[in-house]
Amino acid sequence: MILLVDFNLITQNFFSPPILFFFLGMLSVAVKSDLHIPNDVAKFFSLYLLMDIGFKGGHELYHNGFSMQIAGLLAACMIMACVTPFYCYFILRKKFDVANSAAMAATFGSVSAVTFITAQDFLRSINVAQGGYMVAGMALMESPAIIIGVMLFQLFNREMNPAELALAGNKKINPPKPNWGHILKDAFFNGSVMLLVGSLVIGLVTGNSGWKAFMPFDAIFKGILAFYLLDNGIVAAQRLKSLKGSVTFLIGFGTLMPLFNATLGILICKFILGASIGDSLLFTILCASASYIAVPAAMRLAIPQANPAFTVPVALSIVFPFNIIIGIPLYYGIIEWLHKM
Amino acid sequence: MLPRKKVEIVVESLKVNRIIFELEEIGVPGFTIVGNISGKGANGVLDHNCKAKVFENTYIFTVCTIEQADKIVDYMQGVLQYFSGTCFVSDVNLFECPIKTAKNEIKNG
């Protein structure tokens, strides 16, 4: 019975316009179409989506207020963002060097805002309530992984690898030290975090009058999400082609790790936090997603030895499609089943 | 016409702010930046179609003295050890507008 429910949810999710536009983007790359979304337009859409969900979250917080359960959920978000990179790192070390393992572990510790937005849209489409405070949870989960990733690298990278030694003419030189000022700035004041937290606060302080003025802006949300996913489909397919090296391992890791993180998220929500179905799904998807914008950029600067040809394709071309196509309805089905028990 | 060195840099966009800071520290008289460029190099095709900017390159060029060019090359050797890109240095002759030069000389006493 549970399998039947899950399959129906997966089908329903699969045939929603945003997901179909994602496939259209991927298809356009497969058939070598010249379909292209200008970079600045795509950037505008991502800013719009962050601003919209931030403002909406702030408005919901204005109405629902703050409680101990919300504090518990936010604390759980923070803890998961700090803990996830550690176990990811040790698994990745089986195949990769310290730098690449630390950088990829950081992407899994952080979150993908668009995956979260797609999950919110999924809940809205099946009329399941969700808490606006989960947006704050997402903002909290963006940054810690960047710091943990650099710390892991600092902790375990004692020696130069053979390639670096060869580059340095077999003379041992100290690898560049990370600039913690820049790292902390990238972690806590990057554009996504600023806009998300800023919009949340503006939505909270402006209350009903602010929301009334903002409503026409929110009305185009679904169309913009579909457009953004079309662009993501194009970029994900292009990046998938650049995936090299341990492809089988990366595909396995990119699908099994979200499942493992999601399982942890579901169990935490059910047995520790006692969260609602909607909040449980959003927390689970935050745990299961991986960052493909903020963290790879921060890692490129903080750990230049790490190859972005691993971090971006895994997070964008494997984890992201897996979560939005199969993950969201699958996690929802399990959460709903657990709640009925 | 003044003999000068032209330094051209193609580098990952994420590193540009740091390079600009270094150029200003070295004291080059000015520089030009062309962002969001595409092309192919040792690391394959860079298509600038990535929201994380990690697959995006930027072109920077400056015309400066030999001493300044040497300092830039020294700095870029460190950068290019980890970041993809390239750096060229060539001899150029700088044309200076005579009126502008005279004005600058008067201004500088």
Residue ranges and CATH numbers for the domains of chain A are 2-340 (1.20.1530.20)
3-class DSSP state of A127: coil
Q: Do A167 and B36 touch (CB under 8 A)?
A: no
Q: Which residues of A touch B49 (CB under 8 A)?
A: 36, 39, 234-235, 238
Q: Please report, rounded to a whole number, the percentage of residues in chain A having pLDDT higher than 70.
A: 91
DSSP A128-146: ----TTHHHHHHHHHSHHH
Confidence of residue B46 (pLDDT cuts 50, 70, 90): low
CB A110 within 8 A of CB A142: yes
For the ranges A206-210, B1-5, B66-70, the lowest mean pLDDT is seen at B1-5
3-class DSSP state of B109: coil
Cα gap A59→A269, rounded to integer Å = 24
Q: Per the structure block, which two tokens stand in for B105?
A: 């000389």
The Cβ of residue B77 has, within 10 Å, a number of other Cβ atoms equal to 10
Residue A76, pLDDT > 90, answer yes
Report ipTM for this prediction.
Answer: 0.71
Confidence of residue A286 (pLDDT cuts 50, 70, 90): very high
Q: Do B53 and A292 touch (CB under 8 A)?
A: no
Q: What is the pLDDT of residue A224?
A: 92
Q: Do A308 and B44 touch (CB under 8 A)?
A: no
A242-263: average pLDDT: 88
Q: Rounded to two decimals, what is the model's pTM? A: 0.83
Question: Sheet containing B57-64: which strands, arranged edge to edge?
Answer: B32-37, B57-64, B2-12, B85-94
Closest chain B residue to A231, measured at CA: B49
Q: Do A39 and B47 touch (CB under 8 A)?
A: no
The runs of H, that is alpha helices, within A220-246 are 221-241
Which one of A39, A176, A296 has the shortest CB-CB distance to B48? A39
Cα gap A174→A109, rounded to integer Å = 28
First to last CA, chain B: 22
Which one of B44, B52, B81 has the shortest CB-CB distance to A297? B52
Q: What is the pLDDT of residue A1?
A: 47
Residue A13, pLDDT > 60, answer yes
Q: Per the structure block, which two tokens stand in for B25?
A: 């520290």
What's the domain count of chain B? 1
CB A293 within 8 A of CB A192: yes
Q: What is the CATH number of the domain that holds B55?
A: 3.30.70.120
Phi-psi region of B61 (alpha: psi -120 to 50; beta: other; left: phi over 0): beta
What is the residue range of B46's domain? 2-107
